[in-house]
Structure 1
Amino acid sequence: MKLINKANCIGQLVSITLLIFSQSVAVVGQNQVASTVEWPAYGNDAGGMRFSPLTQINPANVKQLTVAWTFRTGELEQYKGTDAAEKAAFEATPIMVDGTLFFSTPTSRVFAIDAATGQKKWMYTPDVYLRQDLSEITSRGVSVWPVPGDKSATTRANKRIFVATLDGRLVALDALTGKPIATFGKEGSVDLRQGVGNISVTSPPAVIGNTIVVGSSMGDNNRFNYERGVVRAYDAVTGGLRWSWDPIPRTKGDAGFDTWKGPNATQTGAANAWSIISADAERDLVFVPTTSPSPDYYGGERLGKNLYASSIVAIRASTGKVVWHFQTVHHDIWDYDNAAQPLLLPFTQNGKTIPAVAVGTKMGHIFILHRETGVPLLPVEEQPVPKSTVAGEEAFPTQPIPTTLPALGLRKPEAWGLTPTDKAAAEQRIDGLRYEGLFTPPSLQGSLMVPGNVGGIHWGGMCYDPQSGLLLTNVNRMAAVIRLLPREKLAETVKYDQDLLRAETGMQAGTPYVVKRSYLFTKNEQGLIMQTPPPWGTLVAINLQKGSLAWEVPLGYMMDVTKYPQAKQWGSLNLGGAIATAGGLVFVAASLDGHLRAFKTQDGSLQWEVPLPAGGQATPMTYQVNGQQYVVIAAGGHGKLGTKPGDYVVAYRLP
């Protein structure tokens, strides 16, 4: 009896031990899974939600963040002997896969570094010739194939990193070694300029299944017949062309052809997709944000609605066929490109969850569209807008206006200055300029555009927190002055006008007019002195379900706060986006003061800020490796904005 009891006890002990052991194994397994959380695409997911499920860093401890490591790319050495530094901007967002960070520099060099230590694993140099005509010198990142979790990627091969370069190449690199994949294209790359012309690429390609989709970047104010803004798809394994789509219909009978009027309309260029293309593998769709046709500010050679320019276009990834389109600006003559990545999110309406696309625009408008049909889920009205007074131009009579969500960055331009003298100068400058609201057309006397071509919502785009239902974005408020000058009178008009001499010039060859573009600010020893009231840059949260502004706070500052303490409430012009985390934080840099900041998602209160070693005109990212959460940002400055140049990638973590 005692033996039986003893045996029973031993049996029970063994059972309990096995149970505890199995539970321990399960917990260890869970911890191992949770110990690594990747950031596998530019926007974390292929739809650009830029949301991380990580909670280790939160409002209770974010002030304890410290530098984990700093990596330097040596990029400034690449600019020596050229004028590249005047244009160069380190705008990349790294991706993290398999414990490795992958990112590109402004000259399209690619680095792989250890995500935990910041130690370099490899570097690839495409040897971009910097003395060629390049409108922009930047690269916002790279892409990985196959995309983790994308079941439509059926071909198995070594993991690849794709970069699209400033000189128009699509390059496939072995993720382990950084060496070009010899069997892809020609010795590892595809020439994107062949058959198209002098294009660049500044954004990471979209990856869906075994297909790589890539757009292009170009300076489109030199002439009206610029390069075609084709979007192309390539086989991720071989580099073979799968399909090509031109956003401008060229042949009678093509869908949208009748929306381009005039004998030269089919020669129009651009309408390209230079921003981030989103992908939905489950629905076999890519979402292409197209831009204004060339040139930006005069459309007399291309009258009409101009489909599919300045649109969001859903394309079947497997075939290249257009599924739907939604035009955000008809007959764009304002440079109101769709600069932000289309954001794919779940939208709740009448108790049902609907797959949606959120579109943030330079005008400050936000459109919420059904992902499968393009039909607006929130009301959009065609509203009348001002007529053009320029001979040869015909502004489209209406524009689509979302009527539920608040417009961001839009306001009537009023004069402002640090001193009465400054304000008087601003008043004098504004007097005589044409302003009749958001869609005031360019004019011969000069027109005010608010928000201008910088946004509103710019290429930094939006992020979405599914826990709170908040759509978050940073916003610019900088009025642009656009003036068209008759070509034959250009020299005599500009000769005695200091404002025109300083303004940017777009020759718009092939049209009767040259464009002059400037902005309502001046410069002195303090830097930029805005001529319209603050705030000039803000971080905004919108409650999508209520259709209302949840909160808005100033983002950064542009002036010496020791002399002007109130400047902290005035905000800053900003380039680069924000990310949200399940820890209840929004991380963003972007402002001209060179800080990385964390705001509380719930109410927008500032929780943490730290100076960066150089300008932070990039979107941060976050990941977890070895159980430790990191926040990483590229800090390399922005040549055109004049922020501090550098070559840093900085990682932060808790002690």
Structure 2
Amino acid sequence: MPIRFPSLAPALAVACFSLTGCGAGDVPPVQREALPPVLAERHADWRHYGGDEGGARFVSHAQITPDNVATLQPAWTYHTGDLAPETFPDAFNSPALQVTPILARNTLYLCSPRNRVIALDPVTGEERWHYDADPALVGLYSVTCRGVAFHESPAAPSGQACAARILAGTLDGRLLALDADSGQPCRDFGESGEIDLTADLGDVRPAEYALTSAPTVVGDRVVVGAHVADLRRGGVPSGVVRAFDVHSGKQVWDWEALPPEQRVEGSYLPGTPNAWAPFSADSERGLVFIPTGNPAGDYYGGERNGRDTFGSSVVALDALTGERRWSYQTVHHDIWDYDVPSQPVLIDYPGPEGPVPALVQATKMGFLFVLNRETGEPLLPIEERPAPRGGPAPEALSPTQPWPVLPDPLHPTELTEDDMFGFLWFDRQACIKQFRSLNYAGLYTPISTEPTLVYPGFMGGSNWGSVSWDPQRKLLLANTSRVPAVIELIPRDVVEAPGFSERVELQLDTPYAVKRRPMLSPLGAPCTRPPWGVLTAIDMTTGRKAWEVPLGGTRDLAPFPLWLNLGVPNSGGSLVTASGLTFIAAATDSYLRAFATDTGEELWKARLPAGGHATPMSYTGEDGAQYVVIAASGNRMLGSRMGDAIVAFRLP
């Protein structure tokens, strides 16, 4: 059951007020280093979902600068056609165009929510070809595709079909290989150009197994996980990660998130943690990095029997063999839906004795885990701190949880009565009363049969948009939301009793169903003081916040003149450029913004045709102009305006 945020219009209509947020202030310029030639070359193209294979979301293109960004204007717009209601007759959630295109062979490649794979001219936006995968959509609540992957065979004869190919996943669990020049299926791959990833998974029911993130190409391997439906039943398909030969489609290896002694050769165990978020890779070291979710039974931790050993973790696998090199668990025995939601970002950590190959993992808790990329050892201190006890299965809880001391948390780590907010006195008093009634003992409060306050909520903190990395300024850019949630376990006998009519998520094969909602005031606003969404820069030389500003305003959530820059819930990611700009949409107000990376000052914004809940990308076209491209389709759960556009901007 999707959770929807109501319009803020009723709340804002009764009170228009001024708030002092955490603005950019007088922030001293950050020291910038010259970009080494090898880094400049690595970040000149956008051949991977996250820009480079390590997900830095950084480009060396510097034609658009803080001095001229104010003149940026639309260059072209392409519509995918996926918004039409007849396109989704059986889906109970609307499509979400969350894609970040890639650029290869002077062509933009992307996918639409219903798995139309599309090739565009990067200068004009004209369609060169499209392929309709026509997936089954019945019962889906996550109708999206965030990206595709590219592979090229340098040794292939010129003009050979599928010498360059696009790899794409589908919402009904298939992996496709298409000719990059024509869009036709590569007949040598799997069965006539596709692999049915559900064939070996046993009992797979409609809408339980979908590929929403881009595949990851490492050498001649294409590595995929999948989004396995939450909160349905304990017997959902395994979350196994698999690698296939990029030419033939033959499976090369598999890795299931289980202790080795629990693995059974030739079969997969239902309900194991999946890996739905994008992966990252280090071709030089032969590693692929996997962010994992939690096992089935999501909000109930009993009876997992070891299935959460590698849940809510980042795992480094050997790209050739699938062997686990190391793993680090960000939440022990996760019962809060704090699955690792985003692509691990590979950076050169500025250590006291020189750069160290590192990985930064952003989490829903708002923590950043900074690990040695080769060993998994923390590069910044992480403590095991005592965690609250209780809930219906206390024996399944961990007595401690990992807590990074540095970098500074992106999200508040506790909530108090003083943090309660309301637009009017009675509105705040209602939030205070609600706060006092809830089961809450801080971060990691066990989910209970009493309504339990969870903060950060199930959206995060950070989510699938991940973070971006400026290697010159040593700044990490992160957008986060701050909306608490209320979660309650409902005993099975209550749910199955005659006359029970509440809307719950069944979580079958456990003793409890689940009821959850955002914690809102009577007037429809989050019960916490704004900002409800922020953009933060972390100085990685110190681990401290360099600056933090509210992200987004209430436009599209409230009528004029009640458009206030409060910072709003957001979904998507950021892009940083060598010239010193951070581009981000993500917020509910349908704007693409440019901030000064050094200071957080907003320098430019442009209205989008719909909410830009995606991550922008950038490139230089054959006409010599630098382009910034963003998908804009809105998100009905966040209340933003709906659309189906890919929009490109350039200087006049």
CA apart distance, 1:353:
1.1
Instruction: Give how far 1:248 is off.
Output: 2.4
Taking the aligned partners of 2:498 and 2:577, their CA distance within structure 1 comes to 53
Q: Match of 1:26? A: none
1:617 lines up with 2:616 in the alignment = no
1:563 Cα deviation after fit: 3.8
Q: What secondary structure, in the 3-state scheme, does the structure 1 residue paired with 2:47 have?
A: coil
Bigger mean CA deviation after superposition, 132-141 or 584-593 = 132-141
Given candidates 172, 178, 183, the residue that maps to 1:178 is: 183
Map of 1:209 onto structure 2: 219
Distance 2:393 2:253 in 1: 40
Structure 2 counterpart of 1:435, from 440, 443, 457? 440
Q: Displacement of 1:493 after TM fit?
A: 11
Matched ranges for 1:313-352 at <5 A = 313-352=315-354
Gaps of 5+ in 1: 1-29, 256-265
Map of 1:8-27 to 2, 5 A cutoff? none
Check 1:267–1:176 CA distance in 2 against 1; reply closer, same or farther (3 A cut).
closer
Alignment partner, residue 641 of structure 1: 638
Q: What residue identity is the alignment partner of 1:612?
A: L
Which residue number in structure 1 is paired with residue 129 of structure 2?
122
Q: How many residues align?
A: 596
Structure 1 residue 631: Cα displacement: 0.4
- Tell me the secondary structure at the aligned position of residue 505 of structure 1: coil
Which one has the bigger helix percentage? 1
Distance 1:128 1:305, change over 3 A: closer
The answer for the alignment partner of 1:549 in structure 2 is 545
Contact 2:469 2:476 in 1 (8 A): yes
* TM-score for both structures, normalised by structure 2: 0.87
AA aligned opposite 1:135: Y
After superposition, what is the alpha-carbon deviation per residue over 1:339-361, rounded to whole angstroms, capped at 9, x for unaligned? 11000010121222110000110
Aligned-partner SS, 1:596: strand
Q: Report the equivalent of 1:42.
A: 49
Aligned residues of 1:339 and 1:361 also touching (Cα < 8 A) = yes
Output one character per residue of 1:289-334: Cα deviation in whole Å (capped at 9) or x when no partner: 0011112100111166921111110000101100000011110100
Structure 1 residue 516 corresponds to structure 2 residue 515: yes
Aligned pair partner of 2:481 in 473, 476, 481: 476
CA distance in structure 2 between the partners assigned to 1:432 and 1:426 by the alignment = 10
Cα distance per residue 1:363-387 (max 9 Å; x no partner): 0110110001000011111111001
Hey, what's the Cα distance between the residues in 2 that align with 1:457 and 1:635? 20
1:450 maps to 2:455: yes
8 Å CA contact 2:218, 2:283 repeated in 1: yes
Q: What's the CA shift string for 1:185-220, capped at 9, x where partnerless?
A: 101001111112341000000000000000000212
Q: Is the 8 A contact 1:615 1:636 kept in 2?
A: yes
> 1:144 — aligned with what?
150
AA in 1 matched with 2:516: R
Picking from 281, 295, 298, the partner of 2:297 is 295
Distance 1:628 1:493, change over 3 A: farther
Secondary structure, counterpart of 2:124 in structure 1: coil
Q: Is the Cα contact below 8 Å between 2:467 and 2:479 reproduced in 1?
A: yes
**Alignment partners' CA distance in 1, 2:627 and 2:102:** 12
Q: In the alignment, which of 399, 412, 415 is matched to residue 415 of structure 2?
A: 412
SS at match of 1:424: helix
Q: CA deviation at 1:560?
A: 3.3
Aligned to 1:24: none
**What secondary structure sits across from 2:284 in the alignment?**
helix
Structure having greater relative contact order (Cα 8 Å, sep ≥ 6): 2
1:509 Cα deviation after fit = 1.2
CA contact (8 A) 1:305 1:331 kept: no
- Distance in 1 (CA, whole Å) between partners of 2:179 and 2:287 is 26
Contact 1:147–1:207 (8 Å) recurs in 2: no
**Which residue number corresponds to residue 385 of structure 2?**
383
> What is the match of residue 506 of structure 2?
507
**Range that drifts further, 555-564 or 157-166:** 555-564
Give yes or no for contact 2:173–2:211 (8 Å, CA) kept in 1.
yes
Cα distance between partner residues in 1 of 2:153 and 2:85:
31
Q: 1:303 to 1:399 in 2, by over 3 A?
A: farther
Pick from 254, 259, 265 the counterpart of residue 244 of structure 1.
254
Deviation readout 1:141-190 (Å, 9 max, x if unpaired)? 11100399x9xxxx996110111110111000100000010111101001
Number of the residue aligned with 1:68: 75
Residues 230 and 240 of structure 1: CA distance in aligned 2, closer, same or farther (over 3 Å): same
Call closer, same or farther: CA 1:298–1:364 in 2, change over 3 Å: same
Label 1:573 to 1:490 Cα distance change in 2 as closer, same or farther (>3 A). same
Larger radius of gyration: 1
Q: Could you tell me how far apart the structure 1 residues matched to 2:194 and 2:423 are? A: 53
Greater shift in the superposed pair: 382-391 or 67-76 = 382-391
Decide which of 273, 277, 285 is 2:275's aligned counterpart.
Answer: 273
Question: 2:494 aligned with 1:489, yes or no?
Answer: yes
- Whether the 8 Å contact between 2:273 and 2:292 is mirrored in structure 1 is yes
Name the CA distance, whole Å, in 2 between partners of 1:482 and 1:75: 33
**Given that residues 621 and 633 in structure 1 are in contact (C-alpha distance below 8 angstroms), is that contact kept between their aligned partners in structure 2?**
yes
Q: Is 2:287 the counterpart of 1:285?
A: yes
**Is the alpha carbon distance of 1:392 and 1:542 closer, same or farther for their aligned partners in structure 2, counting shifts above 3 Å?**
closer
Name which of 588, 593, 597 aligns with 2:584: 588
1: CA distance between counterparts of 2:307 and 2:383?
16
Give the equivalent residue in structure 2 for 1:226: 236
| Deviations 1:20-75, CA, capped at 9 Å, x for gaps | xxxxxxxxxx9xx99x9431111110010000001110110001011101111111
CA distance in 2, matches of 1:494, 1:309: 37
Q: Which residue of 2 aligns with 1:11?
A: none
Read off the aligned partner of 1:209 and give its amino acid letter. G
CA distance in 2, matches of 1:303, 1:562: 54
Say which is worse superposed, 366-375 or 556-565, in terms of deviation.
556-565
**Structure 1: how far apart are the matches of 2:243 and 2:94?**
29
Alignment RMSD, CA only? 2.5
Q: CA offsets per residue over residues 463-521 of structure 1, 9 Å max, x none?
A: 0000100011101101011111111123679969xxxx4xx622121111111111112
Change (3 A) 1:521 1:253: closer
Please list every run of 5 or more consecutive structure 2 residues that lacks an aligned counterpart in the other structure: 1-36
Counting aligned pairs with the same residue, the percent is: 43
Task: Specify the alignment match of 1:3 in structure 2.
Answer: none
User: Which residue number in structure 1 is paired with residue 193 of structure 2?
Assistant: 188
Return the alpha-carbon distance in structure 1 between the equivalents of residues 301 and 260 of structure 2. 17
Q: CA distance change for structure 1 residues 506 and 174 in 2, over 3 Å: closer, same or farther?
A: same
Contact kept in structure 2, 1:40 and 1:147, CA below 8 Å: no
